[in-house]
Structure 1
Amino acid sequence: MTEIDNTLALSRAGIDTYRQPVVFMREDCHVCRAEGFAALTRIEVTLGDRSVIATLNVLTNGDWLPDDTAALSEEAWAALKPQPGDRASFTHPEPPDSVSAIRAKVYGETLEQQRFDAIIRDVLDHRLSDLDLAAFITACAGDRLSIAETIALTRSMQAAGETLDWGGAEIYDKHCVGGLPGNRTTPIIVSIIAAAGLMIPKTSSRAITSPAGTADTMEVMAPVSLDIPALRRVVEAEGGCIVWGGNLALSPADDVLIRIERPLDFDSDGQLVASVLSKKAAVGAKRVLIDVPVGPTAKVRSAETAAALAERLRAVGKAIGLTLSIHQSDGTAPVGRGIGPALEAQDVLAVLRRNENFPVDLRDRALDIAGALLDLVPETGSAGGRKVAAQLLDSGAAEAKFMAICDAQGGFTEPGEARYHAVITSRTAGRLIAIDNRRIARTAKLAGAPRQQLAGLRLLVQIGDHIEFGKPLFEIHAETLGELEYARSYAEAQLGLCTIEEAN
């Protein structure tokens, strides 16, 4: 009996599918027909002792691809590392063990450690489809994860990657749960903490649902895609770093889950806590401060929600050996003036450089959080941290440390300006009493942020300002006229974006 040939030559498609291995195959390909593959089929690709589970994209008009060849996305190519002339085999993979656990969670069952371990293992092995991952994320949303399950998920996510060992040194870290546009305190805080002689290897994410993540803003000024040896060199030289966590093997499953969470556009407390604290533990941190902004249009909207989140954070932190402090802050309005990577970077530099027109609210918030983190240092003494933080900032020590960190990460770059600007003005007069965080963030995203680094918007007013008719409220920045008009049209249609209380 003749054995079926299920092999194909390999080519590089040159397509970035962001952490998702994808195979491109012609529909008239003999392997596609023989194996019964269809679009979005999960297939196992094996080359020697290496294999990867990938999603199949079927070409109905595949003139660019020979019928005896499969093209690999960048992620699949990196996993298999083929050489010229290599042929790989293509088969149906065994059903993943964790699908039954995901199904159980969908129907409301409580999962134990072993089942979370299986899910995270299959996440990293690419054995779960995007539909499987979306089902898991949805089943865990809201309050569907108990604290015990959150602890188990956190441990699974940390154990799936590398945990840094700093030889007994005390490691500090901070995180903001987000939802507040322009709240770019991290580069300032890291500079202050490192200038104080402490170690703070800060890994940050790119934007999920916001106009900029810390990594997006920092990348405007210095490289952030460092590997672990480079991260170690920076921290050992300067005491701190601000790098993108997605390039590291620290809680790597989180970046896969974030890829699914981004289009779903929601977070859950359990997954948020597991994501944040697994990364803090993986970076080797022992003393951690979590900032929780609370406001009607922030991610956390009430004191009751903040209290429930704080309880979950403390319980998980204690279970995995972290000394955790929760800092509740004002989340009623954006922080600083810039919203978008380059515009937020300009605000950060204005504070560090002590410019005459620096955003006072960003400076004060950074000092509050840096001070609270310094209060976790036994030698600082209770409530003395903010004074130390202010001295380090006002003396220029924090600025010098920031520049040294940038140099160590690959060199500093001054933020640029977008090509196109449009000013949105007030249609009434009175006192500005509210800015909608979500709508202002959406305006910045429609302008192109964070994909376009120079895009976003600059606030020209603050809560409490007296507003005259026709007064400029904010300025939209974009790299293309199309995005500028898109954002302007949205902003002009949003009457509740800026709430002005008319004078009697």
Structure 2
Amino acid sequence: MKLKIKDMDIATGGPLVAVMNNKDAMKFDIHHLDRIKIKKGKKVETVVVGIAESSKAMPEGRIGVYEEVVDSLKLKNNDKVSIMLARKPLSIEFIRKKLDGKTLNKNEIDQIVWDIVHNKLSESELTFFVAACYTNLMSIDETIMLTKAIAKHGATLKLGKYPVIDKHSIGGIPGNRTTMVLVPIIAAAGLTMPKTSSRSITSPAGTADAMEVLAKVSFPINKMKEIIMKTNGCIVWGGSLNLAPADDKIITVERTLEIDAESQLLASIMAKKYSASSTHILIDIPIGNGGKVKNKEEALKLKQAFEEVGKRLRKHVRVMITDGKQPIGNGIGPALEARDVLWVLRRDKRRPLDLERKCIAMAAEILKMTGIKDSKSKAMEILESGKAYKKMKEIIKAQNGKIFDPDRIRIGKFELDIKAGKSGVVKGIDNRTIARLARVAGAPADKGAGIYLYKHVNDKIKKGEKLFTIYSESKHKLRFVKEAIKKLPGTIAIK
């Protein structure tokens, strides 16, 4: 069958999709969500088809294609293409196998990951794979195979250096901007630390969002390599590098379903470290409300799993279990977190000491892993002497940035102070509520939006003293924050 192309001018963000008129589909017994092949010249692409019930939505004789298909086949409006039925991907059978609670082998896992990377699975099929791994947990062998498959079907950063340092913090804790302090400390110690970081999806800021306040974060992999060779480190957005692309697609489904299978968490983190050729990896597992790990028992189980996966991948892995009962640092939101980082690096009296202490502990652990003696003293000396700040300036410059002074960082001009209703001691801070208020204020899309905390757990406070200030770049969003606060009492508990 020959049909004319109609460019839908819409991207799916993943699956290859086309739309046919129902009469055209009936002629060839094509049904909703069937696969068809679209052929133009020598190029062929397999897509999932949707059926339009009206000729207004899709006229007879035409086939609507989304941007991913247009790009793949180099199509233009009104191009004539051939249409034929196609088989379902091989991995559908393997996903069904996992749904039945059976163990997958290396080839089956590899095929599933290949199909994910090449957009051969529909959103519902990918969702079934994620759900299957959540309900029928993968064995440690399956997890290793999934890790290697995710890394295999993506770009690899090869530096030819040893050791190559990396770290990962299990998310959910507002602030916690340790990477931006750690990288310059470790790089100033003469070690190599290429850090790929994420943007926020559900939190007020990801590391990439905060670093973007100071410098550019999107680079092709060859430019990233140049920056590392020049400075010993970098802080860039992983999404621009094509490292472990299957993982990004899996994470999108997990976030939609609000699930986090342990096997996929391990494979997700370790695949990216594997792709970056990391040799020494520090994992930070914060325990606390709003975080992914709720108690010490869960944390110890996860610690053991990370160490086992690291051992099997021949990587040096250390795990720190840390306090995540409250935000780390004072700023929450891209600009406020970036300001905290520069205050720590510049030894400013306004620096958040909890963030500094955590960064020193993590840096000491990394230096110790690589055989450096008196690692805590060494980390502290690098920070106190200004070497870490000097290194951060080098990294910012190499990443085309110009902001080195925290007082030049623009914070939202509209603000709202939240004050204590009584005197006492701060007994708790609700991580989820703080994060939600910062997002309502506009973070992370509005870089200057967020929250600045004046008090942490166990701090004394007097009635009328400021607990925190909410910043926004919009009067309207600040109004939404005021409404949200009324519905979210108990953000900070005082006794």
For residues 404 and 298 of structure 1, do their structure 2 counterparts lie closer, same or farther at Cα, with a shift above 3 Å needed? Answer: same
Whether 1:280 and 2:273 are equivalent positions in the alignment is: yes
Deviations 1:81-125 (A, max 9, x none): 446875444554421111222222223222222221121111112
Whether 1:460 and 2:457 are equivalent positions in the alignment is: no
Deviation at residue 423 of structure 1 after TM alignment: 2.6
Gaps spanning 5+ residues in structure 2: where? none
Q: What residue is the counterpart of 2:209 in the other structure? A: 216
Mapped to 1, the partners of 2:216 and 2:54 lie a distance apart of: 40
What SS does the corresponding residue of 2:134 show, helix, strand or coil? coil
Of residues 180-189 and 105-114 in structure 1, the stretch that sits farther from structure 2 once superposed is 105-114
The question of whether the paired residues in 1 share the 8 Å contact of 2:163 and 2:370 is answered with no
Q: What residue is the counterpart of 1:444 in the other structure? A: 438
Deviations 1:395-445 (A, max 9, x none): 222112112112222223454222432233333432111111122212222
Q: What residue is the counterpart of 1:403 in the other structure? A: 393
Whether 1:227 and 2:223 are equivalent positions in the alignment is: no
Q: What residue is the counterpart of 1:170 in the other structure? A: 163
Whether 1:387 and 2:377 are equivalent positions in the alignment is: yes
Number of paired residues?
A: 491
Mapped to 2, the partners of 1:77 and 1:415 lie a distance apart of: 41
Whether 1:152 and 2:142 are equivalent positions in the alignment is: no
Q: What residue is the counterpart of 2:251 in the other structure? A: 258
Amino acid at match of 2:474: T
For residues 349 and 46 of structure 1, do their structure 2 counterparts lie closer, same or farther at Cα, with a shift above 3 Å needed? Answer: farther
Q: What residue is the counterpart of 2:466 in the other structure? A: 472
TM-score, length-scaled by structure 2: 0.90
Deviation at residue 391 of structure 1 after TM alignment: 1.5
**Aligned counterpart for 1:290 among listed residues 283, 293, 314:** 283
Mapped to 1, the partners of 2:409 and 2:483 lie a distance apart of: 27
Mapped to 2, the partners of 1:303 and 1:317 lie a distance apart of: 21
CA RMSD of aligned residues (A): 2.8
For residues 387 and 35 of structure 1, do their structure 2 counterparts lie closer, same or farther at Cα, with a shift above 3 Å needed? Answer: farther
Mapped to 1, the partners of 2:90 and 2:387 lie a distance apart of: 53
Of residues 55-64 and 236-245 in structure 1, the stretch that sits farther from structure 2 once superposed is 55-64
The question of whether the paired residues in 1 share the 8 Å contact of 2:7 and 2:76 is answered with no
Q: What residue is the counterpart of 1:18 in the other structure? A: 13
Amino acid at match of 1:173: D
The question of whether the paired residues in 2 share the 8 Å contact of 1:42 and 1:129 is answered with no
Of residues 327-336 and 459-468 in structure 1, the stretch that sits farther from structure 2 once superposed is 459-468
The question of whether the paired residues in 1 share the 8 Å contact of 2:329 and 2:354 is answered with yes
What SS does the corresponding residue of 2:411 show, helix, strand or coil? coil
After superposition, residues 112-261 of structure 1 pair within 5 angstroms as 112-141=105-134, 144-261=137-254
What SS does the corresponding residue of 1:220 show, helix, strand or coil? coil
Deviation at residue 386 of structure 1 after TM alignment: 2.0
Mapped to 2, the partners of 1:89 and 1:169 lie a distance apart of: 52
The question of whether the paired residues in 2 share the 8 Å contact of 1:143 and 1:268 is answered with no
The question of whether the paired residues in 1 share the 8 Å contact of 2:20 and 2:64 is answered with no
Deviations 1:150-199 (A, max 9, x none): 11211211121233322253211111111211001101111111111111
Whether 1:483 and 2:441 are equivalent positions in the alignment is: no
**Aligned counterpart for 1:497 among listed residues 486, 491, 494:** 491
**Aligned counterpart for 1:9 among listed residues 5, 12, 15:** 5
Q: What residue is the counterpart of 2:319 in the other structure? A: 326
The question of whether the paired residues in 2 share the 8 Å contact of 1:150 and 1:271 is answered with yes
Mapped to 2, the partners of 1:32 and 1:410 lie a distance apart of: 52
For residues 371 and 88 of structure 1, do their structure 2 counterparts lie closer, same or farther at Cα, with a shift above 3 Å needed? Answer: farther
Amino acid at match of 1:401: K
For residues 238 and 108 of structure 1, do their structure 2 counterparts lie closer, same or farther at Cα, with a shift above 3 Å needed? Answer: same
Amino acid at match of 1:390: M
Of residues 156-165 and 416-425 in structure 1, the stretch that sits farther from structure 2 once superposed is 416-425
What SS does the corresponding residue of 2:225 show, helix, strand or coil? helix
Q: What residue is the counterpart of 2:421 in the other structure? A: 427
What SS does the corresponding residue of 2:301 show, helix, strand or coil? helix
**Aligned counterpart for 1:339 among listed residues 318, 321, 332:** 332
What SS does the corresponding residue of 1:324 show, helix, strand or coil? strand
For residues 36 and 470 of structure 1, do their structure 2 counterparts lie closer, same or farther at Cα, with a shift above 3 Å needed? Answer: farther
Deviation at residue 334 of structure 1 after TM alignment: 0.3
Of residues 121-130 and 469-478 in structure 1, the stretch that sits farther from structure 2 once superposed is 469-478
Q: What residue is the counterpart of 2:89 in the other structure? A: 96
For residues 444 and 106 of structure 1, do their structure 2 counterparts lie closer, same or farther at Cα, with a shift above 3 Å needed? Answer: farther
The question of whether the paired residues in 2 share the 8 Å contact of 1:336 and 1:361 is answered with yes
Mapped to 2, the partners of 1:482 and 1:33 lie a distance apart of: 51
Deviations 1:439-482 (A, max 9, x none): 22122223332233332222222112223334332222333344
Mapped to 1, the partners of 2:363 and 2:55 lie a distance apart of: 56
Deviation at residue 267 of structure 1 after TM alignment: 1.9
After superposition, residues 63-82 of structure 1 pair within 5 angstroms as 72-82=65-75
Q: What residue is the counterpart of 1:367 in the other structure? A: 360
Mapped to 2, the partners of 1:169 and 1:199 lie a distance apart of: 8
The question of whether the paired residues in 2 share the 8 Å contact of 1:10 and 1:88 is answered with no
Deviation at residue 325 of structure 1 after TM alignment: 0.8
Q: What residue is the counterpart of 1:304 in the other structure? A: 297
Mapped to 2, the partners of 1:71 and 1:315 lie a distance apart of: 48
Amino acid at match of 1:453: K
Mapped to 2, the partners of 1:207 and 1:160 lie a distance apart of: 24
Deviation at residue 56 of structure 1 after TM alignment: 5.4
Amino acid at match of 1:125: H
The question of whether the paired residues in 2 share the 8 Å contact of 1:26 and 1:61 is answered with no
Deviations 1:351-371 (A, max 9, x none): 122222011111111111111
Mapped to 2, the partners of 1:415 and 1:44 lie a distance apart of: 52
The question of whether the paired residues in 1 share the 8 Å contact of 2:345 and 2:386 is answered with yes
Deviations 1:311-369 (A, max 9, x none): 11011111111011111111111011111222211211221222220111111111111
TM-score, length-scaled by structure 1: 0.88
Mapped to 2, the partners of 1:333 and 1:263 lie a distance apart of: 25
Deviations 1:3-41 (A, max 9, x none): x21x3235471x454344454x5758x756655667766
Deviation at residue 500 of structure 1 after TM alignment: 1.4
For residues 249 and 38 of structure 1, do their structure 2 counterparts lie closer, same or farther at Cα, with a shift above 3 Å needed? Answer: same
